[in-house]
Structure 1
């Protein structure tokens, strides 16, 4: 397989997603069986591996040394200065959980917004990857209580509204859309926990992957030891969407490809 290229990601935009799990071997087996991904060694070290599909990067998989912590999918946003971003997170009443710390050729940090939704940020070059393109996730959706309040928080942390920034923000009636050069890279949705598709879902970033057959993928997830349930998709998405929890509890969604069966 040819070497995967790197680039400087657009500041403020999602630049990666990663699964953190206490059992990487079981996770690789599950996602290989359900999603058809292959896994490669990562340049970030032995605790990390890289999921690829059709020779393109999909996501990262990291080992969580604390088996008591919940597995989860986490989006990372590109920043110019990780220390400055960390200060902005703390100044706005959110939580900085880890870092910023040197990792491979960059610096990374993990945080949670004021409603508890986990996210990360990354300073440095990253793999050539973009939401909704190639083998990357099809969507990133923040499911939260107050979309507009959340949008203000993230816009201030990641400079979404700066004229010199690479992202633009569009406030719709019930959601907020973040775009790069006219391409949607994240959507923030509001609403009470009780009205969410899954009552157990608390505010979080949800990673959605396009698959050829979402029903078959959901069935495969159950056979592989996970859970799956139909999910009312956001407007404009495939009607065949499913919420999946892998055996360690990490939640993600799958949906049919536009124009697919």
Structure 2
């Protein structure tokens, strides 16, 4: 279960980089019931003083995600997941020691906090957030908000070792159907199993075509009705990678792709 507690190693922020901010704002508002609020000009400035296009998604008045213009040449539109850390610089050293690389070195974002972005040892992208006045997203584990994070990777053992060294995560396993191996459930260091927050699953490169065969993280969003959410995805220009299906003791879920190619999962938990 993901919470908003500022505990090291837990997801605390997500944002979407997209080539078309207004289109993405309209899509996610229609699919997940979000409200988009553009950033004021003085807040929406990069460290070099240039104005950035973007803003915040809210649900029931609380922030659930960020949205920004994709500016990295050759990059695909994708969700970035940020994990809470006490020290972004120390996290950067841990990433490098574990075999990862730095995409964006640690930098301050005003008084709100300090961030950095990385590639793990197999190429999966993720980020860290050292809170200042802003601890991150304000609504989780409720309809229309983040409820899980998931890594598709080419080598689950290597990925597990990397993130354990960086964040201290511990894992439990759930067998997958057939000969598909096991799904590793992620729990933050020092927390009980009921605080598990995500999963790691190995897949052949050909199954990672969205990212050219490179591992990637994606968010899972809680919804009240999986099939209805998928209908809204397709009605608003998105596509479906995996149609809705029931997962035992988990719920009904579907893997979706927005009109710009960013993937995400919608899940109606089995508890509802």
- Confirm or deny a common fold (TM above 0.5): yes
1:135 CA drift (Å): 4.8
- Residues 68 and 172 of structure 1: is their aligned pair in 2 closer, same or farther, counting only changes over 3 Å? closer
| 2:26 matches 1:29 | yes
Checking the alignment, whether the CA contact within 8 Å between 2:12 and 2:83 is kept in structure 1 is yes
Unmatched segments (≥5 aa) in structure 1:
1-6, 161-168
Unmatched segments (≥5 aa) in structure 2:
45-51, 175-181
Checking the alignment, whether the CA contact within 8 Å between 1:171 and 1:177 is kept in structure 2 is yes
Report how many aligned residue pairs link the two structures: 243
Cα RMSD after superposing both structures: 2.6
TM-score, normalized by length of structure 1?
Answer: 0.82
1:22 CA drift (Å): 2.2
Partner of 2:226: 214
1:137 to 146, 157, 160: 146
CA distance in 2 between counterparts of 1:23 and 1:124 reads 28
- Residues 39 and 236 of structure 1: is their aligned pair in 2 closer, same or farther, counting only changes over 3 Å? same
1:189 CA drift (Å): 1.8
1:72 CA drift (Å): 0.4
Partner of 1:156: 165
Checking the alignment, whether the CA contact within 8 Å between 1:140 and 1:208 is kept in structure 2 is yes
TM-score, normalized by length of structure 2?
Answer: 0.79
| 2:185 matches 1:177 | yes
Larger deviation, residues 98-107 vs 39-48: 39-48
Checking the alignment, whether the CA contact within 8 Å between 1:95 and 1:113 is kept in structure 2 is yes
Checking the alignment, whether the CA contact within 8 Å between 2:143 and 2:221 is kept in structure 1 is no
CA distance in 2 between counterparts of 1:133 and 1:250 reads 22
CA distance in 2 between counterparts of 1:234 and 1:74 reads 25
CA distance in 1 between counterparts of 2:232 and 2:144 reads 19
